Amino acid sequence: MAAVDAPAMTQEWDKVFPKSDKVNHRKVTFVNRYGITLVADMYIPRQTGGDKLPALAVSGPFGAVKEQSSGLYAQQLAERGFLTIAFDPSFTGESGGMPRRVASPDINTEDFSAAVDFLSVQPEVDASRIGILGICGWGGIAIQAAINDPRVKATVASTMYDMTRVMARGYFDADDSAAARNHMRAELAARRTEDFRNGAYKRAGGVVDPLPADAPQFVKDYHDYYKTPRGFHPRSGNSTDGWNETSALPFINFRFYDYADELDRAVLIVHGDKAHSYYFGKDTFALLKGYDKQMLTVKDATHCDLYDDLGKIPFDEIAAFYRKYLK
């Protein structure tokens, strides 16, 4: 398929995690059905035995890039025998799409299916054994993609958010009222007018820096990941100036999981019991009716622990889940 854009790709290793000597790595591109070129890092186990491999598409967290948490997940799972790709969603990182740093519940769900398109035709891949994995906001998006795409045989959502819920209702549903939503709609509509007048999109700002003294602990945790050498990356919106302010608009008017009870394939939700976002995982899990749904709670883990803490992310359990259902 022809692409409408041709993003530049960095060829040197610029991840926030060390390169593994157990996998081969290369950059790849593919095009979603909106004509946007997505850029991904592909990780392939060095020892394959010549067999076609089960494959995984990985993305997230919301506002991150593939050089951060998603790349770490992809590389770790490649070490465990899967061909994996970690991709930048539309409008972010090295992927194409204009304007930059805009999010969409529809287009970003499509990004996962476009990744499945790509994996399905790779010569090293068994197209009947494809799964997806989303982290943070992309965990929720991964479940939404799986509902609509039966080619996805198994889905993992790690430390997930439901972005349509948090955008429309606020954290812990504290702003769940028509008045609060209409106030937000009015502010964002006014911002649209100003953006059009100015010919530029105002950014919302990434993770707050410097931290205010009264910042909630989870905001401090975000800062510790995105704003320090632990996880900072210059292409990451969360590490720099964030999303376009008006990115929130479609999420207010869109709801995930209306058909969650129709998802009849395997889902694993992984969440830390100390995560501020734990309620997203538990409530979404309750909506799933498939017999092969699983919830894995990681003790003493916060939201951001499951971004990069190799001592807490249950990679072996995640790999075992995929082996069970990608067969």
Contacts of 271 (CB under 8 A, 6+ apart): 158, 159, 160, 277, 278, 280, 281, 282, 295, 296, 297, 298, 301, 306
CA angle 268, 274, 279 (to 5 degrees): 55
Alpha carbon distances (Å) from 21 to 10, 46, 73, 316: 20, 9, 15, 19
Cα–Cα dist 17/103, whole Å: 26
Q: What is the pLDDT of residue 50?
A: 78
Q: What is the pLDDT of residue 156?
A: 98
Q: Are 19 and 285 in contact (CB under 8 A)?
A: no
* pLDDT tens digits, one per residue of 253-284: 999 999 999 999 999 999 999 999 999 999 99
Q: φ, ψ for residue 211 (rounded to 5)?
A: -75, 135
Q: Which of these, 128, 134, 131, 84, lies nearest to 109 by C-alpha position?
A: 134
Residues of the chain predicted below pLDDT 50: 1-2
Q: What is the pLDDT of residue 290?
A: 84
Across the strands, what pairs with 284?
A: none
Residue 140 corresponds to which tokens in the numbers above?
A: 């929720």
Angle between helices 315-325 and 69-79 (to 10 degrees): 60
pTM over 0.85: yes
